[in-house]
């Protein structure tokens, strides 16, 4: 299942900023999303900023990530930049594909 641009960015940032392997980083973000009731394929940068503030620090701490608060601050800043660049949900969601096939905008 493909995730939104913001989801993919966050997973990559967590992986590159911690000792977590790719699957561990993605799983950690997915667990946090599930707890918040959000879907990876449709999550926006602004929703992820709240997730990183409220839920992700605890998930990172449980996995032994040091300085999770500082990491989350950097992730929030990155998500703000992504949001300003229009990094919302992927344009290849099922709804977007059907709109294109049907000739809708």
Query: pLDDT per residue over 6-26, tens digit each?
Result: 999 999 999 999 999 999 999
pLDDT at 91: 47
- Stretch 59-79: mean pLDDT, rounded? 95
pTM: 0.79
pLDDT at 1: 47
Domain extent at residue 65? 5-102
pLDDT at 76: 94
Give the whole-angstrom CA distance, residue 3 versus residue 77: 20
User: Structurally, how many domains does the chain consist of?
Assistant: 1
Give the whole-angstrom CA distance, residue 78 versus residue 94: 27
Sign of CA dihedral 14, 25, 7, 68: negative
Q: Confidence class of residue 69 from pLDDT cuts 50, 70 and 90? A: very high
């Amino acid at each position: 299942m493909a995730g939104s641009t913001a989801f993919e960015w966050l997973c990559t940032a967590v992986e590159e900023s911690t000792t977590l392997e790719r699957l561990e980083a993605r799983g950690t973000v997915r667990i946090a999303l599930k707890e918040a009731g959000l879907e990876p394929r449709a999550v926006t940068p602004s929703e992820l900023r709240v997730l990183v503030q409220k839920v992700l620090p605890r998930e990172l701490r449980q996995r032994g990530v040091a300085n999770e608060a500082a990491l989350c601050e950097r992730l929030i800043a990155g998500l703000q930049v992504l949001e300003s660049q229009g990094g919302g949900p992927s344009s290849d969601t099922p709804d977007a594909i059907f709109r294109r096939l049907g000739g809708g905008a």
